[in-house]
Structure 1
Amino acid sequence: MTVIFQNGQPISPKARGSVTALGNFDGVHRGHAYLLQSLRKQCPDRSLSVVTFEPHPRQLFFKEDAPFRLTNAEERNAALAAVGVDTIFQINFNTDFSSLSAHDFVHKILQEQLGVTHVACGECFAFGKGRSGNIDYLASETKSLGIGLTVVRPLEDEKGIISSSRIRHLLRNGHPKHAAELLGRVWSVQAIVQHGDKRGRTIGFPTANLLMGEHVEPMCGVYAVKIALPSGEIHTGVANVGYRPTFGHHNECRLEVHLFNFDQDIYGQEIKVWLHQFIRAEKRFDGLDALKQQITKDALDAKEFFNALELI
């Protein structure tokens, strides 16, 4: 079971002495898994840990940017646990921490506080106030402290480096299947079902409504989806991501999910939604009849997609 230390919790003696990977790990994609596997292979007899940051540093420095995260903290930590991380050191990335020097990050955090014995990171890892610490500095300081260092080249495919930014680009352009290839799993959103305006049920398509929050907004439109309830039940459905132009402008991006053969009250429950296939772009309809006709077609397209998957 993965142990998580956060919000300045004291580090237990058992957690000290680990080998650790450094980074934000947004998405925990195949490149991140490769970094962790490389470290595990090099130090097989040591506990494997991750030093990561919450919130993502970009959220502190670029507050006006559009939401961009592939995974929130809970999703990221679950994904790290799934790839075999034993301990997660989740550092509160606030103004005070952002002012910490590169020297203090290595000496006070990595050595004194966490007691790590070996560090791994990507070639572009930078740290400390103003990103003043680079790989050469990290190598020098860790060597002086007797801490091992592994710098891992990024994992690439035929189109380039596998990165969080590349996956965001694919999602924003309506390519969830390609994003899944880089993630190593289907991209998902985890959020609490909200009360909506209940228009869907008036046309025979009730929906579970979720706010995208800090998640990156995929291309607005309709998707074939699966969901998981807190009970572990899995259901298929069709979902719309967007601002519902037929009903006027809305400021918040919503994920509205219609589940097939489903009649449960799930308001207030936290569900997980996987975006499997992009069906069509979001558009405005002249009235409810046209909208209902299109949703009927969308639902059939989603069902055909999942039926085809079962035949593979």
Structure 2
Amino acid sequence: MEDTNWTSVSHFVLLGISTHPREQIPLFVLFLLMYAINMSGNFALITLIISTPHLHTPMYIFLSNLALADICFTSTTVPTMLHNIYSPTKAISYMGCLAQTYFFICFVAMENFLLAIMAYDRYIAICHPLRYPVILTRMLCSQMVALCHILSHLHALLHTFLMGQLIFCADNRIAHFFCDLYPLMKLSCSSTHLNTLMIHTEGVIVIHGALAFIIASYACIISVVLRSPSAKGTWKAFSTCGSHLTVVAVFYGTLTWVYFQPLTSYSVAKGRILSVMHTVVTPMLNPFIYSLRNENVKVAFRKWRSRTRLSFFR
């Protein structure tokens, strides 16, 4: 009896963004720089939130978890890509490829769920400000973050399990810089119908379900803000939401363009460019978007800098 789990491919070759030798050094420097900015920016944001008592609120607890998800998200793909730029083989083992796919999907889903609960946080803060401390207790925040982790791992487990059922017969060259779903499915010599079906059903429910929740939350927020007689209060409410909406637009825009299309119309070249946007650029920009558009973070940063200077000159 034929074993449908069997594969003749023991490893894959990640071709990266470009195969031209002249472009390898500029690409290495560019992505190393973006990775360093991503790590330092997100670590700085987490450290600032932990060390500043008045930032120990639900909004910033969720933001610190988002920054941690961004760190893990980028670390799943960029170090491998940097290593492969100068590697003579550019190889990744079959199990290593599946592991990378698993963690990539997991952290994408985690960011998706965290953005949804951050929208809920803004909804409660603006639409029910007097009940905010009663509704969003420390216990509820912990439960929501834990639920984000559980659902993210279940979502990743489903799609990685289905990917593990595919058969790869000959071609093992992935025209990408990491083991993404569509490039892997393009190489399979078995049917990918179930994989595609799950992406377009369960994937749509998970990703677009969270997006619909975010849109509904902000529809309620805008309705309340427009009825507010105070122009100052209106501006303050919108200013706390602006950074979150910017991140939401970039994250869901690139994610939808890459994954929620038929496999037959998937373009490897466009997929690589858009993947760079949501795997490297967006996580790098997130801490700056939240820092530059958030007065509380800017004030906390100035105080931290003042304390650092005082301790340095003592």
TM-score by length of 2: 0.22
Highest relative contact order (Cα 8 Å, sep 6+), 1 or 2?
A: 2
Higher strand share: 1
TM-score by length of 1: 0.22
Higher helix share: 2
